[in-house]
A and B are shown apart, each in its own frame.
Chain A
């Protein structure tokens, strides 16, 4: 047992920095700090020296120069006369698009696969095991290339649709063309009054939200269960369809048509996007399935039995008892999976999807020779995106995690 005595009154000696436990931890930290800082300074200095040895400077001015190259998928206006900075933004939007679509589909796939892998039905459970193990244990890059190759090799070329005895035909009432350059779907054309239609649709979304809230309140208060699903579906479709006809069909469709070398009109979902999206979703979905399974297994079996004893059906038991409790186990690793998916989208280069890695981190760097600047910006973008995703998900996590009162 150490007894605390008054500090010795004699003056401070330098050796105390090492031998006196009161100061030693401070000394170690200061020295470590100096070492790390000098390491960083050395790195920066080395970079500057090497750059000057190569005759290069450090300058972000290239972002404002004409890019000169074209990008096939652009969500905002872009031509080869635009700047490298704008090309980077086009790439960023493409990255965010595929990451967003991927996260949604991976979550749906993962939750279904995770729940079904625990199914008592032998075939269903085994099928899900095959899916999960197959995708988890084979590199993502292979899946991206496989899906892309299948889509390119097994679908007809646009010119196969041509002529009186065409080898291929469009599906779904001649509205959708599946080609080896992508899937062409009809594009909506917004006529006059379409603004009202959109407003009606948004109102019905608000109504759905309000109804669900009311149903939950009512269930908590009285125990009555309202048919939430069917009412939501009705609210979703009926007003929109009704107003569509009342307003005199303000929205029409622009169907893809063969023109020149390719289909024109409509919206083209490029094979590169589809391949990347599917591969990312299937791959990450397999991991999410395992997370969901772990979450469900973490809920004590007694909870299920108790809920059955109360007369709840299996479906409702899953939704009301198991999943809410499983969520607090599921969410934190799920955040990591979303981050993985977003970062893995940089494998887009394998199928020529023009994400930010291909525009800013690929062509721009190559045409301007600004590797360091480009990579710094790229790193910064991925860092910022990851932190934002992680932040948003943590807000959600806080709302579902176990609240101790």
Chain B
């Protein structure tokens, strides 16, 4: 009797102790690795390569944060999430951050209580059809069967687009990009719709990419960016400024090749502040002073990441477009490191 009361008390006490949680930064540093949520596989953005190592544009953001926090870009546990599981995984603490083609929307930011730390890709929703279907515009899609990933903003945009143009469609709900690809290629749906970048990435893996066209209409704004849980602002700052660091580095001409050289000290005070030779920016984040040196030397700047994973010289072949620096007529604009 006494024993069971005793055990019960211990159990309750133990469970209550688990409640008090440390900050995400401390947790990550103690664990020695970053848990980063990515897609289940979208070539160019996040997909394991032949050696089982995750590669891609979104993966690089994870690696950059790991390099900033732990000094090691490889100290990342990648957690594949689907459109439906991603937010639960983040909210429940299974992952520390989500770097997955996730659109920054009002309700996700405010109602779902997440914190978007910036935009790493400005995108919009497009449609892909087989070329021999003879469709040249999304306005001709009345009555089409459309493959759509469930639980995404594209699902809602799709309904809005067809309703506002007085057209009907038949949705085929699917869970992952790989499943969509299989259904689309088997002809179970006429159209595949998702973010235009995702369409390009998917098409690049087809046997005959030229047999498929991405229709010219872009029906929505999809600013994609990494996000963290609401409420741990220090952690949010780290992810935000790591992303800003990648963007600023490209603007200021810091590359993975010259970062070590520049870290010795330059004439430009902003570069000096970023690379830790001047000021205390790293310490303000609770990181080492050379945190951005680690980041850029391991993954490169934004431009290098873009060109290496999804740029025009890769099979995916995306132009910089909106994702060029503001100095080149694009939307990329990092607040100053000051």
Contacts and interface: CB of A to CB of B under 8 A. Distances in A.
Interface of A: 18, 27-28, 31, 35, 38-39, 42, 46, 49, 53-56, 68-72, 79-81, 152-153, 157, 159, 180-181, 259-262, 264, 271, 349-350, 352, 354, 358, 362-363, 365-369, 371
10 contacts: A31-B4, A46-B15, A46-B19, A70-B158, A70-B159, A70-B169, A79-B163, A362-B84, A362-B151, A366-B151
Contacts of A157: 187-188
Contacts of B172: 72, 181, 352
Nearest to A362: B84
A389 B129 CA distance: 45
Given A54-B229, A366-B83, A371-B91, A271 B188 contact: yes
A352 B174 contact: yes
Contacts of B151: 362-363, 366-367
A31 B150 CA distance: 48
Given A261-B190, A362-B151, 12 more contacts: A28-B1, A39-B12, A54-B91, A70-B169, A152-B188, A159-B187, A181-B145, A259-B143, A262-B145, A352-B175, A363-B84, A363-B151
Given A54-B230, A72-B171, A180 B186 contact: yes
A157 B92 CA distance: 42
B89 to A, nearest CB: 11
B87 interface: yes
A55 to B, nearest CB: 4
B160 interface: yes
B87 A153 contact: no
Contacts of A152: 183, 186, 188
B297 to A, nearest CB: 36
A352 B230 CA distance: 32
Nearest to A18: B1
A69 B163 CA distance: 11
A262 B170 contact: yes
Q: Which 10 A-B pairs have the closest CB atoms?
A: A366-B151, A260-B143, A157-B187, A369-B112, A80-B159, A55-B113, A352-B173, A261-B144, A68-B156, A70-B171
Max chain A C-beta neighbours (<10 A), residue from B4, B169, B187 = B187
B87 to A, nearest CB: 6
A358 B111 CA distance: 21
B88 interface: yes
Interface in B193-240: 229-231
Nearest to A27: B1
Interface of B: 1, 4-5, 8, 12, 15-16, 19, 83-84, 87-88, 91, 107-108, 111-113, 133, 141-145, 150-151, 155-156, 158-160, 163, 169-175, 183, 186-190, 229-231
Contacts of B142: 260
Contacts of A262: 143-145, 170, 190
A180 B185 CA distance: 12
Nearest to B175: A349
B188 A72 contact: no
A88 B131 CA distance: 37
B3 to A, nearest CB: 12
Contacts of A31: 1, 4-5
Max chain A C-beta neighbours (<10 A), residue from B112, B141, B169 = B112
Contacts of A368: 107, 111
A53 B173 contact: no
Contacts of B170: 72, 181, 262
A354 B186 contact: no
A369 B108 CA distance: 8
A354 B173 contact: yes
B155 A363 contact: yes
B159 A56 contact: no
A55 B109 CA distance: 11
A80 B175 contact: no
Contacts of B186: 152-153, 180
Given A54-B113, A157-B187, A261-B144, A49 B19 contact: yes
Contacts of B145: 181, 261-262
A352 B175 CA distance: 8
A55 B229 CA distance: 10
B163 A80 contact: yes
Contacts of A38: 12
A54 B231 contact: yes
A85 to B, nearest CB: 17
Contacts of B189: 181
B15 to A, nearest CB: 7
A352 B111 CA distance: 27
B170 to A, nearest CB: 5
B171 A261 contact: no
Contacts of B5: 31, 35
Nearest to A145: B179
Contacts of A72: 170-173
Contact of B173 (A80, A358, A367): A358
A270 to B, nearest CB: 9
Max chain B C-beta neighbours (<10 A), residue from A46, A71, A80 = A80
A54 B143 CA distance: 42
A262 B144 CA distance: 7
A336 B190 CA distance: 41
B231 A180 contact: no
A152 B186 CA distance: 7
B150 A358 contact: yes
